[in-house]
Amino acid sequence: MHPETTPGTTPPDAVMSDVEAAAEARRIIADAYRPTAYRDTTPVPARGDTPPVAQPGRPPMSQGATDASVLMLAGGVTTTMVGGTAAVLMYVSQYANPLVCALVFGAPTALVLALSRLARHAKPAPDIHQHYEGPVYQDQRNIHTRTTGLWAKTHNDQD
């Protein structure tokens, strides 16, 4: 700092013209509003070496696992509603037979579970596409397990 200036004032040899002051003001404003981060907006290739990144929300899983989890959530909600309705009915009536309530309110749940099992077995098996580079040894075996007897002896037969 110059000896003849006090804090907050400019030194005598640093006086700018109006044009220089306007240019300096534009530079200061441009520096203040310059972005501190840059986002690359070029499209990302569909295939590459970069692994996928998990997004917020449900964790990443296969389509079959997603379908099964939705089915389990729906079954849980249905069971809760049916059980709650049966409990309220028994409490309010003070005479409801628990066995009759179990049969009446459990029948729709059993029907939904039976239909879901039927729908699951009706789906065709997915096609498996495997792509390898280099020498690969692939061994596919079918093992049939049969457990019989009083002491549960297990037989594993390979094809």
- Res. 24 pLDDT band, cuts 50 70 90: very high
Report the chain's mean pLDDT, rounded to a whole number. 78
Is residue 159 within 8 A of residue 142, CB to CB? The reply is: yes
Please report whether residue 7 resides in a domain. no
Q: What mean pLDDT do residues 38-42 have?
A: 79
Range of the domain at 107: 63-122
Q: What mean pLDDT do residues 36-52 have?
A: 75
Please report whether residue 69 resides in a domain. yes
Phi, psi of 145 (to 5 degrees): -100, 135
- Res. 50 pLDDT band, cuts 50 70 90: confident
Number of domains in the chain: 1
Please report whether residue 149 resides in a domain. no
Q: How far apart (Å, rounded) are the C-alpha atoms in residues 141 and 71?
A: 31
For residue 127, give every residue at least 6 positions away whose Cβ sits within 8 Å of its Cβ, in sequence order, or none.
none
Global pTM value: 0.31
Taking 70 as the threshold, does the pLDDT of residue 10 lie above it? no
Please report whether residue 88 resides in a domain. yes
Taking 60 as the threshold, does the pLDDT of residue 8 lie above it? no
**Residue-level pLDDT at 48:** 72
